Structure 1
Amino acid sequence: MVVTPESVLVIVPAWNEEHNVGTTVREILGTDDRYHVAVIDDGSTDGTAREARMSGATVLSLPFNLGVGGAMRTGFTYALRHGYQRAIQVDADGQHNPADIQSVLAGLDRADISIGARFSDVGDYSVRGPRKWAMRFLASVLSRVAKTQLTDVTSGFRAAGPRAIRQYVRYYPAEYLGDTLDSLVAACHAGLTVTQVPVAMRPRRHGNPSQGPIGSAIYLLRSVFALGLALMRRSRVTAPEELQEAPA
């Protein structure tokens, strides 16, 4: 697999997704020849790694489950070491449409980080109750931190340019919501810029969503707490000039 300036590393964190990951990988690879897929097998106990490898992905297997943050940091480290200038996270469950990858990547023409936003007048994705309140609150706070209007700061469908890849290798927390909230706060404090583009979500192919009514209420409390910690923490951010492109 030859990495060129046009190559894009599509990072797919996966934990026990043997029924979804193969289809996801094949769909991504069939969308654009420039897309290289790295599945981060996050300590799965099923056939996730086997299905991903058979479908054409590079598979990086972690010895135990680290969560999305740990898996993504592994993926960004791989991207940096192999010279990728752009990387994007796509979930293994099929909810992120590979046809939207190019739209999210296009946001990197004007910012270091591009978020595929689910609440931007595209598609019919919606949430209710405590989870909706939490998402609105988080978006309002992060919009001020990023100095731009954001509507979906917990979306995992996001792309990183060269400066963001280097920032994420240095600091990409594994704690609850750290992969979305804390990593974004740290990146903004390091001087990186953020934008968002509208995307439509698809139903999960197999398995059940992780949030029910009680889970949504817990999400509200935990997300506010996580954001508070992210804003107060003296993150190991890097000065903007240290994030310039350099040989890996």
Structure 2
Amino acid sequence: MPISLSETLVVLPAYNEEEALGGVLAEIRETLGDVTCLVVDDGSADRTSEVARAAGARVATLPLNLGVGGAMRVGFKYAVANGFRAVVQVDADGQHDPKSLPELVAGLDEADIVIGARFAGSGDYEVSGPRKWAMKFLSVVIGRICKTKLTDTTSGFKAIGPRALNLFARYYPAEYLGDTIEALVIAARAGCVVKQVPVSMRERAGGVPSHNPVKAAIYLARAFVALTFALVRPPVRLANIERSAA
């Protein structure tokens, strides 16, 4: 049964994003109408929560910074507890175009996870240096695990369908890069179907980028560590989760 936008929760993990967040939420409303948005304030020291509430979003405020993985696990648990069938993860900094969101959700008719891929022929987003080669390597390896061609396994713009939603509400990794690399491996080994659709990325609407040259140099080592952890951990049985959720 196709998933509608009314059954979809848009989750925006946000850390000190007061500058961009209001405009991002306004654009989502203008583009998609009365879709439900949950902002997970990941221990921000600014007015992120106040801006989100003023824009009409639901807000979960964390007492300390857990990272994107921890924030998204809160979002998945909230979605399951409140009867949503799908979640779409959207960055709070304005880089993700909400016009692509319906295509991601529509892709859940054929898959459990739909990745909005930056390097699949749409837009001119580029990375360079060690981060670029790590991303290419990871895409090849994880694509083989998922048994499909992937070009952007670290994208934070993705839709999660019912089966993967129940899986991630319990087992979504919170470690750095675990929310992308390890999560896809967990899902694939549990039997979830992964696909991607091309999307265009934009410049940040405000705030401070999370990557800089020093962090990019560290990215390569962390990426391999995340992949190693994903492969050595025992697989989760999706059937057991579905039975317990029934």
TM-score w.r.t. length of structure 2: 0.94
Give the equivalent residue in structure 1 for 2:139. 139
CA offsets per residue over residues 101-157 of structure 1, 9 Å max, x none?
A: 111112111100000000011000011111110000000010111000000000010
Code of the aligned partner of 1:239: L
Matches within 5 A, 1:116-135: 116-135=116-135
Query: Would you say the 8 A contact 2:5–2:102 is kept in 1?
Result: no
Structure showing the higher helix proportion among its residues: 2
Contact residue 86 and residue 162 of structure 1 kept, 8 A: yes
Matched AA of 1:109: D
Match of 1:164 in 2: 164
Kindly provide the amino acid, as one letter, of the partner of residue 112 in structure 1: D
Is contact 1:131–1:217 with CA below 8 Å preserved after alignment? Answer: yes
Give the length in aligned residue pairs. Answer: 243
SS at match of 2:111: coil
- The alpha carbon displacement at 1:167 in A equals 0.4
Distance 2:230 2:184 in 1: 9
| Corresponding position: 1:62 with 2:49 | no
Q: CA deviation at 1:244?
A: 6.9
SS in structure 2 at match of 1:19: helix
User: 3-state SS of the aligned residue for 1:125?
Assistant: coil
Look up the match of 2:148. Answer: 148
Judge conservation of contact 1:114–1:196 (CA < 8 Å) in 2: yes
1:238 is aligned to 2:223 = no
Does the aligned pair in 2 maintain the 1:8–1:34 contact within 8 Å?
no
Call closer, same or farther: CA 1:29–1:244 in 2, change over 3 Å.
farther
RMSD: 1.7
In 2, the alpha carbon distance for the partners of 1:17 and 1:184 equals 26
TM-score (norm 1): 0.93
Change (3 A) 1:192 1:240: farther
Residues 52-74 of structure 1, C-alpha deviations (whole Å, 9 max, x = no match): 00001000111111111110000
* SS at 2:167 equivalent: helix
**Uncovered stretches (5+) of structure 1, i.e. residues with no partner:** none
Deviation, structure 1 residue 203: 0.2
Flag structure 2 segments of 5+ consecutive residues without an equivalent: none
2:10 counterpart letter in structure 1: V
SS of corresponding position for 1:137: helix
Query: What is the aligned partner in structure 1 of residue 184 from structure 2?
Result: 184
Q: Distance in 2 between matches of 1:153 and 1:163?
A: 19
Counterparts of 2:200 and 2:18 in 1: how far apart (Å)? 24
1:42–1:65 CA contact under 8 A, matched in 2: yes
User: Residue 5 of structure 2 contacts residue 35 of structure 2 at CA under 8 Å; is this kept in 1?
Assistant: no
User: Paired residue for 2:229?
Assistant: 229
Between 1:30-39 and 1:104-113, the stretch displaced more is 30-39
Q: Aligned residue for 1:77?
A: 77
